Amino acid sequence: MRNPLDLSGKRVIVTGASSGIGRATAVVLGQLGAELVLVARRQDALEETLGMLEGTGHVAACYDLTEVDGIPAWLKGVAAARGVPFDGVVHAAGLSTAIPIRILNRSRMEDLMVLNVYASLALVRGMAAKGVGADAASLVLVSSVSGLAGALGHSVYSASKGALHAMVRSAAKELAPRRMRINCVAPAWVQGPIMDVVQDIQGDGFAKVAERQFLGAISPEDVATSAAYLLSDATRTISGTTLVIDGGWTC
């Protein structure tokens, strides 16, 4: 029986694999048969994720993605060590700090832009290099509905995620000659520590979010499954798009 979502034999990099959406993505991709390179800063957390994965051949590769200029060469080295190019990447690492306008400064803006935008672009460059990304590889960037709709304190975060939505459209055209694809997944409020903070501050549990996110809370696994879909051959003609996973938030 053919399964268009099967990822057996596909070699995929997952950034931010130490927690949250990145970790959930690693678990889901492992279940679908992918062979993974897990990336984050902390080796111990990556080891923990490795212990959660089905399948074999997965490895951890510690790297600090704020070292943007080093990303392409580092990626090349990881591919060389494996001896085969990658079929995909899911870039789940990112910062989601809320910064009220009244305390904006360059340093705070840079923190978000470096990891959310510059590191994404450097990963694209790295994957586009011959021998690193395979022909027809799929690149998936985890963005946010904050790039599509506003949220209090999110001006910088929105700018960083909206930049990704714009970026994938151009990158899709440039990568197309090798049938490489690039897309975003844009979740709304995902269960986890960030949502906990918002709910604590607002003091109303899920009520305020639920007014707009009427299909309920989004789990990291929901985002992971959408990323898996975009990695799969089922989406071989989909590129330059943003898949919104928002439970109705932007309706």
Partner 1 sequence: MTNDKLVELFAEGLEVDAGVLTPDTRIADVEEWNSIGWLTIMSMVDEQLGVQIESSAIRGFLTVQDVVDYLSAKTSLAS
**Residues near partner 1 (CB under 8 A):** 98-100, 102-103, 108, 152-153, 196-198, 200-203
Nearer to partner 1 among residue 166 and residue 201 (C-beta): 201
Distance separating alpha carbons of residues 134 and 85, to the nearest angstrom: 5
* CB-CB contact of 30 with 106 (8 Å): no
Q: How far is the CB of 163 from partner 1 (least distance, A)?
A: 22
Cα distance from N-terminal residue to C-terminal residue, the chain:
36
Q: How far is the CB of 232 from partner 1 (least distance, A)?
A: 37
Nearer to partner 1 among residue 129 and residue 195 (C-beta): 195
Q: How far is the CB of 100 from partner 1 (least distance, A)?
A: 5
* CB-CB contact of 49 with 23 (8 Å): yes
Question: How remote is the C-alpha of 114 from its chain's centroid?
Answer: 15
Angle of helix 119-128 versus helix 155-175 axis, rounded to 10: 10
The answer to whether residue 157 is catalytic is yes
Nearer to partner 1 among residue 70 and residue 153 (C-beta): 153
Neighbours of 25 (CB within 10 A): 34
Q: How far is the CB of 99 from partner 1 (least distance, A)?
A: 7
Tell how strand 133-142 and strand 181-187 pair up. Answer: parallel
Distance separating alpha carbons of residues 35 and 57, to the nearest angstrom: 6
Distance separating alpha carbons of residues 44 and 150, to the nearest angstrom: 36
Of 63, 118, 157, 229, the catalytic one is 157
Nearer to partner 1 among residue 110 and residue 200 (C-beta): 200
By annotation, the residues acting in catalysis are 157
